[in-house]
């Protein structure tokens, strides 16, 4: 016979891990909140990548108005947490209608084509609405060996 206290602990542990798993799954899901006006949302499929992997960066117009990327400034910045910019990409000519998505693939290279080192990086996206007002979003990702 299994002691009642042991059975209780096992059942409680299984239930707690299931609840925690569901919570973490919802926390990591890419639910985009669409808002009235100009907005952009950027995200990646997962928060951790291995060095050398190509990283798809998703850009979504999460507003109700058209947004565009300026030809005279980068639309994507990848920088360290201290603000050092390693990579920029101009997305001139790219216009996104409401709810439209664009995928940019980053090959983990710096602007000088050298490889990036492991660490935590901030991806920043900057676009403009039809009136020229800046809309932006940012998120972090980790690169590991």
Domain 40-144, CATH homologous superfamily name and number: Macroglobulin (MG2) domain (2.60.40.1930)
Whole-number pLDDT of residue 16: 83
pLDDT for the residue numbered 28: 52
**Is residue 25 predicted with pLDDT exceeding 70?**
no
Residue with tokens 């710096």: 110
pLDDT tens digit sequence for 55-71: 999 999 999 999 999 88
pLDDT at 54: 94
Rounded Cα distance, 88 and 102, in Å: 17
> pLDDT > 70: what percent of the chain?
93
**For the chain, what are the domain ranges?**
1-31, 40-144
């Amino acid at each position: 016979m299994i002691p009642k206290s042991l059975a209780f602990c096992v059942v409680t542990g299984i239930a707690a891990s299931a609840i925690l798993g569901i919570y973490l799954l919802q926390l990591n899901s890419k639910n985009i909140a669409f808002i009235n006006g100009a907005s952009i949302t950027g995200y990646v499929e997962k928060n951790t990548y291995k060095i050398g992997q190509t990283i798809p960066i998703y850009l979504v117009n999460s507003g109700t108005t058209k947004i565009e990327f300026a030809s005279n400034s980068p639309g994507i910045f990848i920088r360290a947490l201290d603000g050092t910019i390693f990579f920029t990409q101009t997305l001139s000519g790219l216009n996104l209608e409401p709810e439209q998505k664009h995928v940019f693939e980053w090959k983990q290279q710096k602007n000088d084509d050298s490889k990036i080192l492991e660490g935590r990086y901030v991806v920043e996206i900057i676009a403009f609405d039809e009136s020229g007002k800046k809309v932006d979003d940012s998120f972090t990702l980790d690169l590991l060996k």
